[in-house]
Amino acid sequence: DFQGLSSSSLALASTAARPVLSPPARSSSMAAASAEVRARAVDFLRFLNASPSPFHAVNEARRMLLEADFQEVKEREDWQPRPGGKYFVTRNQSSLVAFALGGKHTPSNGFSIVGAHTDSPCLRVKPISAVTKSGYVSVGVECYGGGLWDTWHDRDLTVAGRVIVRTKEGNLTHRLVHVQRPIIRVPNLCIHLRKADEREKWSFNKETEMIPILATTVKTQLETLAAGGAKRSDDGTPKHHPLLLDILCKELGCEPADIADFELCLADVQPAVLGGALEEFIFGPRLDNLLSTYCGLRALIESQDSLADDTNARVLCLYDHEEIGSNSAHGAESMLTENILRRLSGSSDGKFSFEQAIAQSMLVSADMAHAVHPGFASKHEDNHRPALHGGMVLKSNCNQKYATNSVSGTLLRECALKAGVPIQEFVVRNDSPCGSTIGPILSAGLGLRTVDIGAPQLSMHSIRETCCTSGVSQCIALLHSFYKNYPGINSLLKID
């Protein structure tokens, strides 16, 4: 099991003849803090490696919440949430909203909301994926989100996601699958076959030249598979190659005819690890934005000791489809958030409880931030260059790509001050494009005070990204402080 192991832990122990240098003496408090940072990072690695798709991420979140005595409720059912109660609901098994009502909560009190997302750029298997070309059995894929697609070449890939399986009783069930071995590869083109101008600036067609291969078409390798088991499209041609279906069926313990449909992501089989000479980095996939997802879960769960005295409802929203604009039934632009919040603020004698609650609420939109790059420092504005280990990043944009303003920024800084978490500032250069988050979407849709933050990272949207270990513990500490301290800090605000 390689999950959570550092790169140095995988190396051979061949240093017996080398002189051993004693590390500088450190105080016990420094050592304890360092140990906690590492422990937080290692636990995040476990979560990350267990979450190769949004469906797996929500499944992991569900497991963590159940272990913390949260109660699962269904949207189609009637709820009777009570002060001090802890609940969560899923939608599509790829989005989740958890909420803990303060012991002093009433329907018109505010919401302390943290929002993050469960999806990341990846390749996804097409509805009809069977492709045979040039002697290879390939898998047709779509590009989901804005990935750095060149980084997907020459990686050991597998598939993960959900499969809709028909049971013997005729029910349709949601099953998770994660093939734990490399079965797919997107081969690069060797430099020898590239023209001189192509060598200088290489580009490729994502539809015709980015082809994941599953096998070759050599008859002796395929003759043992029963082609008749393949799912077929309306014209009778196979929708998916029998090889792929055979792998899925072995994982799920079912027959090809039992598979009604699936949503599969391609994923790197190399696990996320601690790295660097001092093991201060996290190298892995999907840091954007499973780090924020994990930290939001930890903050909500670990802040329970102060819940009895809270007047607010503490809410954690984990959305699917952020990377493609959030415009879906389970994205941040859907009615999911408003529906849940209205149910929490329902009152028999308070007609405008929801509106009163929103006016006292705040959203922390937690999404990863861009650390300054050692090779491309000029891409950052001179006075806004977040550094790894420098603290959490407060993201601002006057064109509302981020929803931070002076009020929400001040409230966030006060929470950070109580937690002892440093804050770094980030804006893009005037000659640079700017990404966006769920923050502006929810802020506009709900009239909700919002701040955008993130832990600093490098290589965002690569198949392998980089962040620092301290980013995990700092993010948890800041979100924990927000849940605990926001109502009191907000009471000091004399605006509107």
Give the model confidence (pLDDT) of 259-298 as tens digits. Answer: 999 999 999 999 999 999 999 999 999 999 999 999 999 9
pLDDT value for 36? 93
Q: Which of 257, 76, 293 is nearest to 168 (CA)?
A: 257
pLDDT value for 202? 81
Q: What is the mean pLDDT of each run of 10 residues along the chain (496 residues)?
A: 43 38 58 89 98 98 98 95 97 98 96 98 97 92 97 98 95 97 96 88 88 79 50 64 94 95 98 97 98 98 97 98 96 97 80 92 98 96 96 97 97 98 97 95 97 98 98 98 98 91
| DSSP bridge partners of 42 | none
Residues 6+ apart with CB under 8 A from 300: 98, 100, 114, 314, 316, 479, 483
**Cα 404 to Cα 434: distance, rounded to the nearest angstrom:** 14
pLDDT value for 217? 83
pLDDT value for 17? 40
pLDDT value for 298? 98
Quick one: 128 exposed, middle or buried, by C-beta within 10 A (0-12, 13-18, 19+)?
Answer: middle
pLDDT value for 198? 85
Give the model confidence (pLDDT) of 368-423 as tens digits. Answer: 999 999 999 999 999 999 999 999 999 999 999 999 999 999 999 999 999 999 99
